[in-house]
Amino acid sequence: MTQEKIITAKNMTKKFGHFVANDNLTFDVYKGEIFGFLGANGAGKTTAIRILCGLSMPSAGEIKVAGFDIYKQNEKIKKNIGYMSQKFSLYEDLTVYENLNFYASIYGMQKNEIKKKADELLEKLEFSYAKNKLIKDIPLGWKQKLAFSTAVFHNPKIVFLDEPTGGVDPVTRRQFWDLIYQTAEEGITVFVTTHYMDEAEYCDRVSIMDEGKIVALDTPLNLIEQYKVQNMDEVFVKIARK
């Protein structure tokens, strides 16, 4: 892992009327790491991720993603990121391949390249038999894995995952994290939000959010030591009780 910063946020703030969803967030994400963004429901994780993906305009703050300014170079950022939203977002009435093909071609990938890569991907996932199945006909676990694969299909520098394993069984979650590791090994930075604390331990570094503020930011191991507990779950409970 290098110390090259790929995301820098200084005093990132987002207000909805009087409600402050993100309160002066300051953090860096290094190239190639798995960065966990933790917090209870409503802590402001999704708001932050939407700002970084260019879906939402911040109220204030200096933010750079993949080296580009979030205010002026929004469209350049988009070429370099992948995003998997909390809400499942593949087209239910298109097949597995049609979905991959559609998103890849929007990112400007060439036809032959898409075809080759899609076949490789499905083979790797051991999912080639479902290439021409409609998304609505495949199980949720597979849908999530495909949504992730679609988000990194165009080989972005960073991929943002917003609670990617919500509602997924433990075995599939394990497989999902294997995919995340593989992606990180390929050099893609992973920015992931979750509220499963066991998942937090898979991350290189985590930040914990509470009521719109970042209250802790370190490696899982350091946090466990710092709070003198056994695991991340207890860290979280301790922080949330404060």
Partner 1 sequence: MRTIISIIKKEFTQVFRNKTMLPIIFVIPLVQLLVLVYAASLDMKSINLLVVDKDLTPLSKELESKFTASPFFIVGNSISVSEAEKEILNNNADVIIVIPQGFEKNITNENSSELQFLFNAINGTKASIANGYSQRIVYDFNQNIILNSGNLFPETAEFQKINIENSFWYNPRLDYKIYMSSGILVILVTIISLILSGMNLVREKESGTIEQINVTPIKKYQFIIGKLIPFLIIALFELAFGLTIAKILFKLPFEGSLLLLFGSAIIYLITMLSIGLLMSVFSETQQQLMFIAYFFVMVFILMSGIFTPAETMPQWAQKLNYINPISYFMKIVRMILLKGSGLKDIINELLALVIYGSLTLTFAVVKYRKRA
Give the nearer residue to partner 1 in terms of CB position, either 89 or 155: 89
By CB under 8 A, residue 113 contacts partner 1: no
Q: Is 231 in the site for partner 1 (CB under 8 A)?
A: no
Select from 4, 91, 140, 174 the one that contacts partner 1 (CB under 8 A): 91
| Cα gap 231→229, rounded to integer Å | 6
Q: How far is the CB of 176 from partner 1 (least distance, A)?
A: 18
Cα separations (Å) of 173 from 20, 60, 179? 32, 36, 10
CA-closest candidate to residue 67, choices 33, 102, 29, 19: 29
- For partner 1, the closer CB: 167 or 170: 167
- Judge contact between 231 and 239, C-beta under 8 A: no
Nearer to partner 1, 151 or 208 (CB): 151
* E-only strand ranges, 31-152: 34-39, 60-65, 68-69, 81-84
Site mask for partner 1 (CB under 8 A), range 3-42, x = bound: ----------------------------------------
Which residue stretch of 2-10, 26-34, 100-108, 187-195 sits at the interface with partner 1 (rule: CB under 8 A)?
100-108
Say if residue 81 is exposed, middle or buried (CB neighbours under 10 Å; 0-12, 13-18, 19+). buried
- If DSSP codes are grouped into helix, strand and coil, which group holds residue 169? coil
Burial environment of residue 127 by CB neighbours within 10 A (0 to 12, 13 to 18, 19 or more) = middle
Residues from 120 through 179 that contact partner 1 (CB under 8 A): none
Q: Out of 24, 59, 89, 231, which residue is the one contacting partner 1 (CB under 8 A)?
A: 89
- With CB under 8 A as the rule, give the number of residues binding partner 1: 30
| DSSP H or E segment with residue 207 | strand 205-210
Q: Does 103 interact with partner 1 (rule: CB under 8 A)?
A: yes
Residues that bind partner 1 (CB under 8 A): 53-57, 74-76, 78-79, 81-83, 85, 87-94, 98, 101-103, 105-108
